[in-house]
Structure 1
Amino acid sequence: MKLPSLKARPVAMAVFGAILAASSLSASAFQQPGKIVAGSDMTFFPYEYMEKNKPAGFDIEFLDGLAKVMGMTAENIDTRFPNLISGLQAGRFDITNSSMYITADRMKVIDMVPYLKSGESILAVKGSAYQPKTPEEFCGHKIGSMGATSWLQQLQKLSAEYCVKNGLQPIAISEYGTDPQTTQAMLAHAVEAQITDAAVARGVVDKLGDRVVISSQTLIYPVLNGFGVKKGNDEVRNALIHGLEKYSKTPEYAALLDKYKFQAPTADDIAALMPNP
């Protein structure tokens, strides 16, 4: 499955017009003058990962470009995904930069600024009899996922409200610390399939194409990815929004999206997918 490359104007910030009118690029709310310190789980290829002992991937390059137009630099601190929100709340970093999906539950405890549209895919072992195309086919099967992801709640709801209510066996969900650990569990037959971000799934196939396949055929649970900001830190949030408006007009922004074949949110996407906590 391929996500389409963006052809229209990448980021529709009109939705934030009222906020932009009052925003400024003051760096006083950031922990270090002239620097954006971000928490990022460096195990999530192609978004963020370590390459030759240096952070790499779309989110790393994206934040570097965004920081540049804001007149700042970016530093990413490697932090496991389940600890990102608590680390943000404790002041370990200014923002989260880890392909975090924007959900109503997350927006109850942190603020979030959208910068990408995404969703999930299903991975299966190549040649295995079990090749699920939709989550509804998970009933009665062992499914692996990285912990603390937004789709786990959706799968638990599906298990109770679809599988069990229709007389089927519930979904047996196994959570792992990282996405690569989940893939290894699937290859070891500890789980029968894996659900993960669509771009991550493509990356796994690129690396292990002779062993795994994307069995789903459409994007599952479309969602917005966003930067996380400590609740009430409007100065940092507004600075990111203003920076995104500027960055979205640069050729570097368009080139980065095309490089990764990623899709930025339109005004319609934001209106439809931005949750109300």
Structure 2
Amino acid sequence: MILRNRSYFGWGATTADPADPTHGLVVHYNGPASNLTGHDTCVSYWKSTRDFHVNTNGWADIGYSFGACRHGEVFEGRGLNHYQAAQGTTAGNADWYSVTLMLGGDEDATGDQIQAVRDLRAYLMDRGVAGTVRGHRDFVSTDCPGDKLYAMVQDGTFSGGSGGEVTAPSGSPLLSRGSTGARVRRLQQALTKAGHSVGPSGADGDFGPATESAVRALQRRFDLTVDGVYGPQSARALRDALAG
């Protein structure tokens, strides 16, 4: 999991009251469509959300414990061991952590965004928090987190793929030399588990020459076009390699 702490956004320590949430994790969304694209738009969204919560709502800090950006990174809000302003009830804010996916309307969560929530759940469970996942509407009358995300809460989507399970990233965009971030890190972890070394740096999130060589080796192994670019065919091959 790539966790961007508060200092990444230029924030100091939160002034929110201390708490000990142990009941689980609550999923939220933005409401209106967010239309985020590049990583910089996710960072801007997170900063503007905090600005609104503090300067318009008058809250002590951004309302959420964490955010899950569309590129698979987890953004720290109030973080660990703090009361929040997200669930709408005293017990909900004191006993549960919150995570908002940076989307709204009819937007779909990306695969990396879903994995970020799974990784966050595992991170919290390692710290004594229950693995239960709920939606905001389980606490108060609200549309949040939207029908699409709430269906994922109910069917256990956010409860899968945690606890160190290695999965192969899928979907667009393609990954190739020069790509960076959470999807590359997951690719490197999956390649390593499948027996293809990504070099001495390991899963560092940087698609360099060693990772390209590992992708080429995978492609040769499954009789694919050997170009070192990780796309849909390579993703299927890597899933087969992991399953075998």
TM-score (norm 1): 0.25
TM-score (norm 2): 0.27
Q: Which structure carries more strand by proportion?
A: 1
User: Of the two structures, which has the highest relative contact order with CA contacts closer than 8 Å and spacing of 6 or more?
Assistant: 1
